Amino acid sequence: MSAPLPNLPALALFVAVVDEGGLGAGARRLGMYQPNASRMIAQLESQAGMALLDRHPRGARPTSAGLLYAAHARELLEAAADFTGWLHHSRDEDTLELQVGASMTIAEHLMPAWLTELRRTSARVRVDLRVLNSTQVLEQVRGGQLQLGFIETPHVPRWVHAQDLREDELVVVVAPHHPWASRDEPVGLQELAATALVVREGGSGTREAFEELVPSAARTAPVQELSSNAAVRVAVSSGAGPAVLSMLAVRSLLETGQLHRVPVQGERLRRPLTAVWTGPRRLTGPAADLVAVATAPTRPAL
């Protein structure tokens, strides 16, 4: 008699428990009640004929056998996901849909060109784009509402697969009539951190990246907290105060003189722009095509 086929939901639960470090956390990740999760893990161990987890009051760790079991389980789950993706696409040969979330700077200044190139090379793909902040993108990737996300925060959680796309520079900008616009010396990081700035809302990748690079800035109350780059630019132009924004978001206003860039002492403020997803480590289909477009060398302007 042949052995029973693996229980894929149980394997997904076991991998989640290993990743999260506890049975309860793993069950919550999959939206499962803990008693049901306990029974599924017990059935896996019974079928395997060995202990897969060492349980302790603060969580659960995989045994040496459990680590090997988890590695093979991941391979099987990735193969199952590939099969499901193939089946989905084979049912709809006319249009391939891709749910994508992008944080604001990427959505405003990079995504339009990426989608244009994707349509040129993959005409059958229809992208459902949601413009969110980085925290919201990660939440929806984790919840399965998004197949692919693009974020600007340096805080990339370990439960997603990630690929760096490029570096982005953060710059200090003020209105042309602001006192900093005529100063001779660059602004120091301590002075910048102690200054009340116009900032994006909590969860914004721009704000999180700046506070990661200049941690003491988080202790200074902002002069205004706004939910979009456009609103921050308007507030700065009106004289509300300095802001730290992506060069992508302010380049055109710097070129026209509507904003003024203030040099910063020391190294430039840089942060990564990152693609994130869950499921199989290797992207396939439209998601892989879009990431390939995003990582392609930038074409020179004509």
Burial tier of 46 (Cβ tally within 10 Å: 0-12, 13-18, 19+): exposed
Residue ranges of the chain with per-residue pLDDT less than 50: 1, 299-302
Kindly report the three-state secondary structure assignment for every residue of the chain.
CCCCCCCHHHHHHHHHHHHHCCHHHHHHHCCCCHHHHHHHHHHHHHHHCCCCEEEECCEEEECHHHHHHHHHHHHHHHHHHHHHHHHHHHHCCCCEEEEEEEEHHHHHHCHHHHHHHHHHHCCCEEEEEEEECHHHHHHHHHHCCCCEEEECCCCCCCCCEEEEEEEEEEEEEECCCCHHHHCCCCECHHHHHHCCCEEECCCCHHHHHHHHHCHHHHHCCCCEEECCHHHHHHHHHCCCCCEEEEHHHHHHHHHHCCCEEECECCCCEEEEEEEEECCCCCCCHHHHHHHHHHHCCCCCCC
The architecture CATH gives domain 167-271: 3-Layer(aba) Sandwich (3.40)
Find out whether 250 and 51 touch, Cβ atoms under 8 Å: no
| CATH class for the region spanning 8-90 | mainly alpha
Give 242's strand partners.
none
Where are the domains positioned within the chain? 8-90, 94-160+273-295, 167-271
**Domain 167-271 in the same topology as domain 94-160+273-295:** yes
The distance between the two most distant Cα atoms of the chain, rounded to a whole number of Å, is: 84
pTM exceeds 0.85: no
The string of pLDDT tens digits covering residues 249-267 is: 999 999 999 999 999 998 8
The architecture CATH gives domain 94-160+273-295: 3-Layer(aba) Sandwich (3.40)
pLDDT at 86: 72
Q: Single out the residue of 169, 209, 184, 198 nearest to residue 262, CA to CA.
A: 184
The string of pLDDT tens digits covering residues 208-249 is: 999 999 999 999 999 999 989 999 999 999 999 999 999 999
